[in-house]
Structure 1
Amino acid sequence: MANIRDVARLAGVSISSVSNVLNNKTGQMSEQTRLRIEQAMSKLNYQPERAPVPDKNVQKKIIGLLVPSIVNPSFSALAYSVDLSAREYRYRVLLGNSYRQDNEEAEFIEDMFSHGVRGIIVAASDIRKTHFVRAAEKGMMIVSYDNHYSDSMAADHRVFDSVSMDNIAAGRIAAQHLIECGCKYIVFATESALTMGRSHKIDGFLTVLRNYQLPIKHRVIEGKARSEYGDTEMFELGLTLVAEILALTPRPDGIVAINDALGIGLMVGLRKAGVSVPADISIVGIDNIFLSGLADPGLTSVMPPRAEMAQVMVERLISRINNGAIMPDEFLFPPTLVCRQSVKTKAS
């Protein structure tokens, strides 16, 4: 009996191309390629096995988790925490990578509906996009992670739960720690494509500079990744930002990194340039990924209460799935500082 590999081989295409034809996803495919695949299926008498159509009236103990990219350690850690929390309720988690592309997000939502899933967590995406709003209107329960409501949105207009670390506080804590440890000229290093969470961290950082009556001009150092938003390139971006930072006058003695992956990249790049961390430049990251404790020196980082946030997100989804009368709400969690060796001590 022929299988999908046989069809792909005869048609001279990839297995994914055959799959796209089977699932009526041929919008980006040439007519010639589609016909060649269909002819190969006919010649081989290929009969694909079809999964049973889900009963829309049966509640599945599954929730979805949509992240920009699992390659980013921050989202890997989130996925781990969400999975642990879901297992406590005997739920499973279906994971999707969106790469911050609207079409990927929309297709993930449709896949969740087709599998009978009625609750998803959406990480670090603009939850105001049309496909999310329409999904909520069709009955999908959604929790927005790290993208909380604007102050202008009235409570009765909210259709999603929002769970986020206080990103303004995170930027403020990082900057305050560097200044309290004796740093005189601090900068904020980030990718140039700003999300709400990134913007809030920068706002918190600049607030501290204003409080200390320090100039804020040229204090945010931005690098452009090859991929949009740079979710998979933060370590590499840290390496490339080193030259720009060292060229500043006066040279910074403290850096806040938008996340730990970028901060670790900065430390590696500074070491290659002969600059000592923390003796010459101190660094604070944000996220407290597990690699931060393994870095040399260990990276001081602002930590979100990730396990508690995951617990709330899972509980909210399950509660609202079971009781649609529960109104969406917002949950803002305070971050804490984890001190390691990447910041000079006050005495030094």
Structure 2
Amino acid sequence: MVTGQKLPSFLFFQLILVLQVLYHSNAQGLKLGYYHKTCPNAESIIWNTTHQIISRAPTLAAPLLRMHFHDCFVRGCDGSVLLNSTKTNQSEKDAFPNLSLRGFHVIDAVKSEVEEACPGVVSCADILALVARDSVSMIQGPFWEVPLGRRDGRVSILNEALTNLPSPFANITQLKQLFATKGLNEKDLAVLSGGHTVGTSHCVGFSNRLYNFTGKGDTDPSMDPNYIVKLKQKCKPGDNTTLVEMDPGSFKTFDDNYYTLVAKRRGLFQSDAALLNDAVIKAYVFLQASTHGSTFAKDFAASMVKMGKFGVLTGKQGEIRKHCALVN
């Protein structure tokens, strides 16, 4: 959920400067082949275990990608989204935007295999980053090199997920400001939104656009009226259980069709439609739509590497959890 409150511009830019310094200092601790000596088979174990699961249940790829995204946007990519709530603390996992996350059992299964080979060596944060990459690759998406060396955080706070995760109801100003606080620019926003080419959403994520956009029982004028008719057939007022494909017809395959849909005003969320309200981002959308995603795979890989370095814990920070849902 994005509050919509704006920082004074001078404070906002000071915050960005501080975040960029932190981003670069900690991201320096990540490197390719980080486990080459301490757990040489780590990446192949993670790939093989993930492949066994995704080959049977390819629809898990989208939730695993989303889980990595939700992890990195709150406290950085430190595995905090994996932690369970305790008697004294409600964790990110129980925040409303994360209640629909799926695939925690995949991370647990992978962690179990890695722990058997190399106890106490590979972090849950690194496992999540690799599983997200491997899952996307296994459904015809791009492959990218993942620098490793993340450590696991010990803190996970429900309210931080509410204020740091982009809302499906966000406008372009809110989205750009939120992405900027994570070291991500307009192009990264355009590119990472393309992750909506896979997966599904409950009707509640967009039903206001169909039935009550301004509180007067109206529809969202920015959405293709023919698409509204189709969505109303699937989602009746008050429907909280039905799932709708975000990229109708190819929601199990990582492709460039998302941009064609957004260009035709058929993006499912307000945050998708909002991409057309910024000149730079709109140009990117129409470029990918008109060239069959000519640069999307390469761009997505680059933005995922960039996002995956945000706010990481390295060196002696944090810990290597024995179980991903529990601090040691």
Q: Same fold (TM over 0.5)?
A: no
Q: Which has the higher contact order (CA 8 A, sep 6+)?
A: 2
Structure with greater helix share of residues: 2
